[in-house]
Structure 1
Amino acid sequence: MNSQTAPNRFARSEPFEVFTRPQRSRPARLAGLLIRRRVEIAVIVAGLLAWSWLTEHLPTWGAGLVLGVPTLAALAVPVSRRYLHRRVLAVLTRHRLRSVLVQRRVMNWTGNLPVLLWSRPTPVGERVWVLLRAGIDGVDIERNLAHIASGCFARDARISVTRRMTALVLVDVIRRDPLSGPAARPAAPAPRPAARPVLHSVPTRKGA
């Protein structure tokens, strides 16, 4: 009896999914890495070129002052500090969005992800331009908005499709609510004017 039930037990199998990714060439992977890290590479290259040029005309301590003083000033001034902070968040959001798309398997059957064209700050967070490849539509991204919000450390995420081309969608990462700022708070009621005393005329008796 055991010999008859053993094959039946081992014959049972649960359904499972095998996910494979295509093998891309090294030049293609290197080109993709350079495109994704273009902002970081541009900043590093610009810094190295500036340092190389300054050290040829100034001593080392002078070159350090020329580069260090403007950097510290930009971080100390509130306006420039907020500008740099928002730009850094825009780049970070683009990288985090790609990580979410990879983990959630938002790709076509050949394993190609949507192309993240650009990202920029907005008054409420960041906006990313996403170009959908063949086999991907906006619904694939819309059903993962909750994961995008949590993956980007934001409070919400929204998607909108451009009218001219449905393959180009805009992903808005919401970090702050503009209606919760000081400008949106209800104004204090204006003080009421003091009530004037009402004077009643006192009737006088005739002949008094």
Structure 2
Amino acid sequence: MSSRNPRNHRHSPDAPIRGRSGVLITLWRWRTEILLCAGAVAAVFTAVGMARDGGWWPFLVLVGVVSVPAATRSGRNRVTAYFWCLFSRHRIQRVCLETSMHTRTGRIPLILWITPTPAGEKALIATRAGVCAEDFAAYAGEIEAACMARRVTVSRHPSRANLVAVEIIRRASTEPAYGIGRLYGTARWIPVPRDGEMPPDTRTTLPLPRAA
């Protein structure tokens, strides 16, 4: 069992990334922002159209939907939590591009889902061929710096090694896990040690010197 050195790139760090992401991949990465913008534009046009016809209820409903979350503490906390989810998703993608966690054609792992947790955020990631959970553990420091987090932990699925859970810890919390933890469970995932914390290889036994 050999530890990974995150500074030894399997791709040349000076070589440009070949190829570009397809349209579907780009839409998938920006799906939340696209849906939010489309929903906001549709709501504004609907409210303006109804207001011109003399109906003010859609406009009042739109104002209430926007103002109620901003006026309550729980609403502000939820909006802030989802903002950090969007922020962390794009920062993890940038770390994958800036490090060796991508294919030779520039394809990076897919972040299938990212959700708030009591301590921060947790992302469910599907790796590409040539990238594994140990790579994410080796680059945990880069992910911490990019996401401005306190600590990052990496776990992999017990039977599907291509599924990796990256937990971004921003604060201490004793609340029960939800989101991905509730859907997939937390006890079954296998923690992946960070680089420099690899356990000793127990598959080999060193011969002991015999006493004279």
Question: Does the alignment reach a TM-score above 0.5?
Answer: yes
Greater relative contact order (Cα 8 A, min sep 6): structure 1 or 2? 2
Q: Give the drift of 1:61.
A: 10
Gaps of 5+ in 2: 1-11, 175-212
What residue number does 2:18 align with?
Answer: 22
2:134 is the alignment partner of 1:139: yes
**1:173/1:136 CA distance change after superposition, 3 Å:** same
**1:131/1:46 CA distance change after superposition, 3 Å:** same
Gaps of 5+ in 1: 1-15, 180-208
The structure 1 residue matched to 2:163, chosen from 148, 165, 168, is 168
Q: Which has the larger radius of gyration?
A: 1
How many Å separate the matches in 1 of 2:134 and 2:141? 13
2:103 is the alignment partner of 1:108: yes
The alignment's C-alpha RMSD in Å is 2.1
Q: What does the per-residue CA deviation read over 1:103-125, in whole Å, with 9 as the maximum and x for residues that have no partner?
A: 12311333321111110001110
Q: Give the drift of 1:18.
A: 4.7
Q: Which amino acid aligns with 1:99?
A: R
Q: Give the drift of 1:93.
A: 0.7
How many Å separate the matches in 2 of 1:50 and 1:18? 46
User: TM-score, normalised on structure 1?
Assistant: 0.70
More helix by share: 1
Q: Which amino acid aligns with 2:18?
A: P
2:46 is the alignment partner of 1:46: no
What residue number does 1:159 align with?
Answer: 154
Instruction: Give aligned pairs, total.
Output: 161
Given that residues 22 and 111 in structure 1 are in contact (C-alpha distance below 8 angstroms), is that contact kept between their aligned partners in structure 2? Answer: yes
Q: Please give the secondary structure, in 1, of the residue aligned with 2:75.
A: helix
How many Å separate the matches in 2 of 1:51 and 1:108? 42
Aligned 1:1-208 pairs, distance under 5 A? 18-24=14-20, 29-59=22-52, 62=56, 64-178=59-173
How many Å separate the matches in 2 of 1:61 and 1:75? 25
Q: What does the per-residue CA deviation read over 1:135-169, in whole Å, with 9 as the maximum and x for residues that have no partner?
A: 11111111100110111011000100011200000
Q: Give the drift of 1:76.
A: 1.1
How many Å separate the matches in 2 of 1:46 and 1:140? 37
Q: Give the drift of 1:65.
A: 4.1
Given that residues 109 and 135 in structure 1 are in contact (C-alpha distance below 8 angstroms), is that contact kept between their aligned partners in structure 2? Answer: no
Q: Give the drift of 1:34.
A: 1.4
Q: Please give the secondary structure, in 2, of the residue aligned with 1:172.
A: strand
Identity, in percent, stands at: 25
How many Å separate the matches in 2 of 1:20 and 1:88? 31
Given that residues 51 and 59 in structure 2 are in contact (C-alpha distance below 8 angstroms), is that contact kept between their aligned partners in structure 1? Answer: no
